[in-house]
Amino acid sequence: MTPHAENVHWLFATGFLVLGLCQLSEALVGTAVWEQRRWRAYLWPSTAFGMGLFMWPVMVFFTSSTLHMLAHGAWAQVMMLAGAAQLGLVRGKLKSPRWELTMALAFFVSGAAFLIHEQNGWFFARSAFLHHALGWTLIAGSVFPLMRAFRPGSAPLRGGYAMTMIAVAVLLYCDRDLAPIFGHLSQFAQ
C-alpha cells in the first residue's frame, strides 16, 4: 500500500498546479475581482494549508531516513503556517501585508530542505537533479513573496509567484523513481 515516491510527487504537483493557476488568474484579473466571490478568495490559501496537512502523513509513513523526515516535517509546518496566514488575511483577521513573509519563509525553507536532504550530485539520477532544481527554484522564487510583503498590490510580483508554483509543479511531475537525467544515471542509483 505504500505509494511510490513518483506518485506522491505527482499528487503534490497537482496541488501546486492548482495554486499556480489560481495565482496566475488573480494576477490577471486583479485581487478585487478575484475576491468578489468569497469561496474563490479562500480557495488557494486553503489548498496551501491542506497541502501542509497532507505533508504530515508523507513525513510519518513515506520517508526513508531521519533527514527526509525532518525535511518533510519542516515543509508541513511552513506550508500550514503560510496557508493559515493567507486564510487570516482573506478573512480580515490579519491586516498587515507583512504576513506575506510567511509565504517567503515557506518557499525558502522548502527550497533549503530540498537542497539539504538531497545528498547526491545533480547528475546522480533524475530525482537528484530535480531535487536540486526544485531547491534553487524555490529559493529564487522566495523573492516574489518577500517583495510582495512590501508591495502588496503588485501584479508582476504575483505573476512571478504564480510562475514559480507552476515551475515547481512541472518539476514535480517530471519526477520518476528511477530514471536517467540527460543520459546520466549513477550505478549506485540502480
Q: Which residues contact another protein by CB under 8 A?
A: 1-4, 7-8, 10-11, 13-14, 17-18, 21-22, 24-25, 28-30, 32-34, 36-37, 40, 43, 173
Task: Take residue 3 and report the three cell numbers written for it.
Answer: 505509494
Taking the complex as a whole, how short is the minimal distance between the CB of residue 18 and another protein, in angstroms?
6
Taking the complex as a whole, how short is the minimal distance between the CB of residue 105 and another protein, in angstroms?
26
3-state secondary structure 147-188: HHCCCCCCHHHHHHHHHHHHHHHHHHHCCCCCCCECCECCHH
Taking the complex as a whole, how short is the minimal distance between the CB of residue 143 and another protein, in angstroms?
24
Nearest to 90 by CA among 149, 45, 53, 133: 45
Cβ nearer to another protein, comparing 25 with 186 = 25
Cβ nearer to another protein, comparing 77 with 173 = 173
Nearest to 119 by CA among 108, 110, 128: 128
Distance separating alpha carbons of residues 163 and 176, to the nearest angstrom: 22
Nearest to 89 by CA among 166, 7, 148: 148
Cβ nearer to another protein, comparing 100 with 175 = 175
Cβ nearer to another protein, comparing 43 with 94 = 43
Taking the complex as a whole, how short is the minimal distance between the CB of residue 5 and another protein, in angstroms?
10
Q: Is 184 left (phi over 0), alpha (psi -120 to 50) or beta?
A: beta
Cβ nearer to another protein, comparing 29 with 178 = 29
Taking the complex as a whole, how short is the minimal distance between the CB of residue 21 and another protein, in angstroms?
5
